[in-house]
Chains A and B, each alone.
Chain A
Amino acid sequence: MSTSIPTVDHKDLMLSGSNRPFAALYGRNAKSVIQRGLLATKTSNASIMISGFVEPVLYLLSMGIGLGSIVGDVTGPGGHTMSYAAYIAPALLAVSAMNGAIYDSTMNVFFKMNYAKLYQNMLYTSLGPLDVAIGEIFLALLRGFMYATGFTIIMWFMGLITHPAGLLMVPAAVLIAFGFASIGMGITSYLKTFQQLDWITFVMLPMFLFSATFYPLSVYPQAIQWFIQAMPLWHGVELLRQLSIGYFTPGMLVHVGYFVLMIVVGVTLTTRRLRALFLR
């Protein structure tokens, strides 16, 4: 019986790192993270998905119709007179983009990070932290895109969009969600207990209440106005409100730039944190 043992070249057993730039961070496979997320969505509770869409609609009905009949017409961007419902609707869209993104990137990510150990498992494979970050943020944005489209359709049915530029609210809402999702995920990586999540809601509430959502910023003293203008939600509200009536100003570039900066900082932070946490 002849035995032929295959000869093994020693070099075949050696693992060598890729020379591709950022190879340690990005495995070029964010797609599989997205695929897994979509599969998981199938088995989750559909009514919870729908509920995220219902909330801003309820606010619009309650505040827009109920309070609107008391408040009457208000002065919008550029001195345009608009109904109260038309005034708050874009703001509610911005708030819902923020809420959805923060919910997805804090509560959900916290659970996956600390309880399901999902990211730990993903990073044991050829996936890098950037794949995980991109995949998770993409999923959050897909959801945000669907909510924003639905809400814009409702606004259109209620006659609250008077200018074709109002359609640009959908991509703008996704941009807002992107900014909040990327920062939110980075912050979540620092949290240790469920109770600390309450503090995030506690920071979001004043942003929701004070960012010119329900009334113009001019009611505040100058110092408070500056503070609110430094907060991200105000830029989102202003951007969407101006788009809803097709009032374009150079200031819009500042609003967009704010979120672009937020995205860059957030993705960098998240990637670095995931690497520090799981790839030591």
Chain B
Amino acid sequence: MTDPQAPATQRIDRSGTDAAVRLFNSSLKAHAPAESAKRARKFGTLYIAEGHLLAMRRYIDIIIAYSVGNPLMYLFAMGVGLASLVDANSANAFGVSYVTFIAPALLVSAAVMTAAGEFTYVIMSGFKWNRTFYGPLSTAITPYQISQGLQLAVTTRIFAQSIVYLLIVVLFGATGSAWAWVSVLIATLAGTAFGFPLMAYAASLEEERGQFQLVNRFIVMPLFLFSGTFFPLTTLPWFLQWIGWISPIWHGTELSRVFSYGYQEPLWLSIVHVLYLVALTFIGWHFSRRIFARRLEG
């Protein structure tokens, strides 16, 4: 009598090796090794991204708190509180209300800061502490796919977070344009433009000696403060303005303002913004792939 509940080993005894493999594969819904390898080669990037996104569930509470709490607090503090001071003392300095002026900037800054958070310790951990990048190597997945998969996962997180941010901006009535949704794409691009090169840097590090804290203090914070987020870049003295020109936050913010409330800037400048962000993203993508390959295959 065949008992469907019987342990697999008993059935293996009865039905011989080939049948056992077939049964094993069908019961776990796994593919034959050759088929698995083929799929891994094809979809490796997606598999890695899926793994990282699932891992993010472990700290989903703080992700949600940050994605919703941060925009709410910043928009309220700066857009309502500080705005009362700015609008009272120099009404119409921006042509729009202060909250409309800073909302696109805060959207882009938040994307860049999330990228800064996800592309530092997580990368070092994958190589050094948890060594999660080495597991997939024993499959047909390549180092290139491991690098890209991680990038895809974080980009997805930034994209989702930016949508939430935009919705809150809309609730604050801080955008008047039907094109404001484009700023979600711009923010995500700014996040990758800053994050991918940072990932390449993080992947190149063998030891943690406080470098990430320095990146945060000496690169992320200055870029946030000197990127025309809270006031136009031109109100700063000339010797501080260059920080904005090299900053993905400034390029993203300016572009985002064009779509959020019809901020006027020459078309060529908008094109420069896009090209700059795409170039940084591409450079970061290229070098993180190379460095991942060097470290994982070396």
Question: Is the CB of B213 closer than 8 A to any CB of chain A?
Answer: yes
Give the distance in Å from the alpha carbon of A52 to the alpha carbon of B214 in the complex. 10
Question: Is the CB of B95 closer than 8 A to any CB of chain A?
Answer: no
B-contact bits for A32-74, CB 8 A (1 contact / 0 none)? 0000000000001101100110110011011101110111101
Are A65 and B236 in contact, with the CB atoms below 8 A? yes
Are A219 and B81 in contact, with the CB atoms below 8 A? yes
Taking the nearest CB of chain B, how far is it from the CB of A111, in angstroms? 12
B209: A residues at CB distance < 8 A: 45
**Given known A-B contacts A55-B221, A71-B89, A202 and B81 have beta carbons under 8 A apart:** no
Are B65 and A214 in contact, with the CB atoms below 8 A? no
Give the distance in Å from the alpha carbon of A55 to the alpha carbon of B220 in the complex. 11
Taking the nearest CB of chain B, how far is it from the CB of A68, in angstroms? 9
Taking a contact as CB atoms closer than 8 A, the residue among B59, B62, B80 that contacts A219 in the complex is: B80
Are B231 and A54 in contact, with the CB atoms below 8 A? no
Interface SS majority for chain B: helix
Are B222 and A58 in contact, with the CB atoms below 8 A? yes
Are B89 and A72 in contact, with the CB atoms below 8 A? yes
Are B70 and A205 in contact, with the CB atoms below 8 A? yes
Question: Is the CB of A250 closer than 8 A to any CB of chain B?
Answer: no
**Given known A-B contacts A45-B209, A215-B85, A51 and B231 have beta carbons under 8 A apart:** no
Are A48 and B214 in contact, with the CB atoms below 8 A? yes
Chain B residue with the shortest CB-CB distance to A216: B85
B70: A residues at CB distance < 8 A: 205
Taking the nearest CB of chain A, how far is it from the CB of B41, in angstroms? 35
Are A45 and B210 in contact, with the CB atoms below 8 A? yes
Are B73 and A70 in contact, with the CB atoms below 8 A? no
Taking the nearest CB of chain B, how far is it from the CB of A74, in angstroms? 7
Give the distance in Å from the alpha carbon of A61 to the alpha carbon of B231 in the complex. 13
Are A214 and B77 in contact, with the CB atoms below 8 A? yes
Taking the nearest CB of chain B, how far is it from the CB of A143, in angstroms? 15
Taking a contact as CB atoms closer than 8 A, the residue among B81, B214, B222 that contacts A214 in the complex is: B81
Chain A residue with the shortest CB-CB distance to B117: A198
Which of A70, A71, A206 lies at the interface centre, i.e. has the most chain B CB atoms within 10 A of its CB?
A70
B-contact bits for A200-223, CB 8 A (1 contact / 0 none)? 001001100110001110011000
Total count of chain A residues near the partner, CB < 8 A: 34
Question: Is the CB of B17 closer than 8 A to any CB of chain A?
Answer: no
Are A66 and B236 in contact, with the CB atoms below 8 A? yes
**Given known A-B contacts A58-B221, A215-B81, A51 and B90 have beta carbons under 8 A apart:** no
B181: A residues at CB distance < 8 A: none
B69: A residues at CB distance < 8 A: 202, 205
> In the complex, which residues 174-218 of chain A have their Cβ closer than 8 Å to any Cβ of chain B?
195, 198-199, 202, 205-206, 209-210, 214-216
B179: A residues at CB distance < 8 A: none
Are B217 and A51 in contact, with the CB atoms below 8 A? yes
Taking the nearest CB of chain A, how far is it from the CB of B149, in angstroms? 23
Taking the nearest CB of chain B, how far is it from the CB of A87, in angstroms? 9
A202: B residues at CB distance < 8 A: 62, 65-66, 69
Chain A residue with the shortest CB-CB distance to B90: A70
Chain A residue with the shortest CB-CB distance to B58: A195
Give the distance in Å from the alpha carbon of A52 to the alpha carbon of B210 in the complex. 13
**Given known A-B contacts A51-B213, A51-B217, A61-B240, A66 and B235 have beta carbons under 8 A apart:** yes
Which of B58, B65, B82 lies at the interface centre, i.e. has the most chain A CB atoms within 10 A of its CB?
B82
B217: A residues at CB distance < 8 A: 51-52, 54-55
Taking the nearest CB of chain B, how far is it from the CB of A138, in angstroms? 23
Question: Is the CB of B225 closer than 8 A to any CB of chain A?
Answer: yes
Chain A residue with the shortest CB-CB distance to B209: A45
Taking a contact as CB atoms closer than 8 A, the residue among B58, B230, B240 that contacts A63 in the complex is: B230
Chain A residue with the shortest CB-CB distance to B213: A48
Give the distance in Å from the alpha carbon of A62 to the alpha carbon of B222 in the complex. 9
> In the complex, which residues 181-230 of chain B have their Cβ closer than 8 Å to any Cβ of chain A?
209-210, 213-214, 217-218, 221-222, 225-226, 230
**Given known A-B contacts A48-B210, A70-B93, A206 and B73 have beta carbons under 8 A apart:** yes
Taking the nearest CB of chain A, how far is it from the CB of B194, in angstroms? 18
Give the distance in Å from the alpha carbon of A210 to the alpha carbon of B65 in the complex. 18
Taking a contact as CB atoms closer than 8 A, the residue among A44, A51, A72 that contacts B214 in the complex is: A51
Give the distance in Å from the alpha carbon of A47 to the alpha carbon of B213 in the complex. 10
> In the complex, which residues 68-89 of chain A have their Cβ closer than 8 Å to any Cβ of chain B?
69-72, 74
A205: B residues at CB distance < 8 A: 69-70, 73
B25: A residues at CB distance < 8 A: none
Are A58 and B210 in contact, with the CB atoms below 8 A? no
A74: B residues at CB distance < 8 A: 85, 89
Chain B residue with the shortest CB-CB distance to A84: B85
A67: B residues at CB distance < 8 A: 86, 230-231, 235
Are B59 and A195 in contact, with the CB atoms below 8 A? yes
B interface list, Cβ under 8 A from A: 58-59, 62, 65-66, 69-70, 73-74, 77-78, 80-82, 84-86, 89-90, 93, 209-210, 213-214, 217-218, 221-222, 225-226, 230-231, 235-237, 240
Q: 6 A-B pairs, CB-CB below 8 angstroms?
A: A62-B236, A71-B85, A71-B89, A202-B62, A210-B81, A215-B82
Given A69-B231, A199-B62, 20 further pairs, Cβ under 8 A: A47-B210, A48-B210, A48-B213, A54-B218, A55-B217, A61-B240, A63-B225, A65-B240, A69-B235, A195-B58, A195-B59, A199-B65, A205-B69, A209-B73, A209-B74, A209-B78, A214-B78, A215-B84, A219-B84, A220-B81
